[in-house]
Amino acid sequence: MDLLSVAFVSAFIAGFLAASMPLLVASLGETIGEQSGVLNLGIEGVMLFGGYAAFVVTLATGSFAWGMAAGAGVGIVTSLFLLVLSVLLGLNQIVIGLAVTLLGGGMTSVLYFGNYSKSTPRLGKDEPFSLWGLSDLPVVGDSLFSQPAIFWIVLALAIGVWWMLSKTNFGLQLRAAGQNPNSLDASGGNVVATRAIAVLLGGFFSGLGGAYLALISTGTFTPFMTQGVGYTAIVVTMLARGRISWVIGASLVFGLSVAVGTVIQLTNINLPTDVIKMFPFVVVIVVLVAFARSAYVPPALGLPYSRGAR
C-alpha cells in the first residue's frame, strides 16, 4: 500500500484520534480526581457503564448527542459509589475502585449478553461537523477537521478543565485538597465537599470517555471493550501531574502508538498483532522507567481525610 496516499493518511489519522480521544476525556476526569486526592481506580468500570448506556440510548433514539449525555450521566451516577464509600465514609479507595471495575465489567457484559448478543447491532456514523475552510485542506483536511461535534466539545472541555484547575478559586481549593487537606480545612474550605465535586466531575468525564469510545471510536459496544484504557488514563494522569497540556500530549502519544501499530499491519512488515497490542503498554512502561523520579502524585492521594488526624 502506498504510504502517502490520501486514503492511507486518512485511515492513520482516524485510528490515531479514535485511540487518543477517549483516553484524553478519561484522563481529564482522572486528573480532576487525583488533584483533589481521590484515586479513582474504578475508572475502567465507569467507562464501561458510560459506554453501555450511550450505546443503548443512541440505539434507541438514533441521536448521538443523547447517547453522549446518557454516558456522562451514568458516569456521574456510578461515581456515587466512590463518592459515598470513599469520600464520605473514608473507605479504602483501591478496594472500592476495584469493586467498581468488577461491577462495571460484570453488569455491562451480563446486560449486553442478555439484550444484544444475538443481534450485535452496530451504530452508524455521527454527522461530521466540519471546520469551515480548514476541512477543505488537501490530504489531511477532511480526516482531521471534519469531526463529530463531540470532538470539538471535548477540546473545549479540556481548555475548560485547565482554566478551572489553574485560574479559579475552586481549582485552587481542589488542588489544596490533594496537596494538604489540613491547610484547606484551616483556611475555611470544605475538604469533603471539594473532593465530592471532583469525584462527580471525574465520573462525568469517565462516562463521557466510555461513550466516546463506544459511539465514535468503535461504533458499537462489546463487553470489556475498554481493554485497559482506564488504567492508561491513570498513568497519563500520574505523568501529567495535573498539567492539562501534558494530559493532551500524553494521550496523543498513546493514540499515536496505537495508530502506528495499525499502520504496521497495513504494510509489508510482518509483526504479530500481539506485539502491536502490547506496544502502547510497553511505551508507558518505558516512559515510567525513564521518568521514574518525576512520576509524582499529590501527597494526600488515596488517603481519606479526617479532621485532626495526624
Looking at beta carbons only, is 156 or 278 nearer to another protein? Answer: 278
| Angle made by CA atoms 168, 251, 62, in degrees to the nearest 5 | 90
Q: Burial code of 226-247, b = ≥16 C-beta within 10 A, e = fewer?
A: beebbbbbbbbbbbbbbebebb
List Cβ neighbours of 230 (8 Å cut-off, separation of 6 or more): 26, 43, 44, 45, 46, 47, 101, 206
For another protein, the closer of residues 41 and 68 by Cβ is 41
| Cβ closest to another protein, residue 117 vs residue 267 | 117
Q: Which is nearer to another protein, 105 or 249 (CB)?
A: 105
Nearer to another protein, 48 or 72 (CB): 48
Minimum distance, C-beta of residue 5 to another protein, in the bound complex (Å): 30
- 8 Å CB contact between 187 and 13: no
Alpha-helical runs (H) found in 83-133? 93-115
Helix pair 149-167, 64-82: axis angle to 10 deg: 40
Specify the residue, 48 or 68, whose C-beta has the smaller distance to another protein: 48
Footprint on this chain of another protein (rule: CB under 8 A): 41, 81, 85, 88-92, 94-96, 98-103, 105-107, 109-110, 112-114, 117, 190, 192-193, 223, 228, 231, 234-235, 238, 272, 274-275, 277-278, 281-282, 284-285, 288-289, 292-293, 295, 297, 307
Tell me whether residue 129 or residue 224 sits nearer to another protein (CB atom): 224
CB of 239: closest distance to another protein in angstroms?
A: 9
Please choose, from the candidates 151, 143, 135, 130, the residue with its C-alpha nearest in 3D space to the C-alpha of residue 65.
Answer: 151
Tally the C-alpha atoms within 13 A of residue 14's C-alpha that lie toward its C-beta: 17
Cα separation, 167 vs 295, in Å, equals 24
What is the distance between the alpha carbons of residues 94 and 7, in angstroms, rounded to a whole number? 44
Q: How far is the CB of 276 from another protein (least distance, A)?
A: 9
Beta strands in the chain (DSSP E): 128-130, 146-148
Which position has the grid cell 499502520? 263
Minimum CB distance to another protein, residue 281 (Å): 4
Cell numbers at residue 272, please?
504479530
The CB-of-126 to another protein minimum distance in angstroms stands at 29
294: which DSSP letter? G
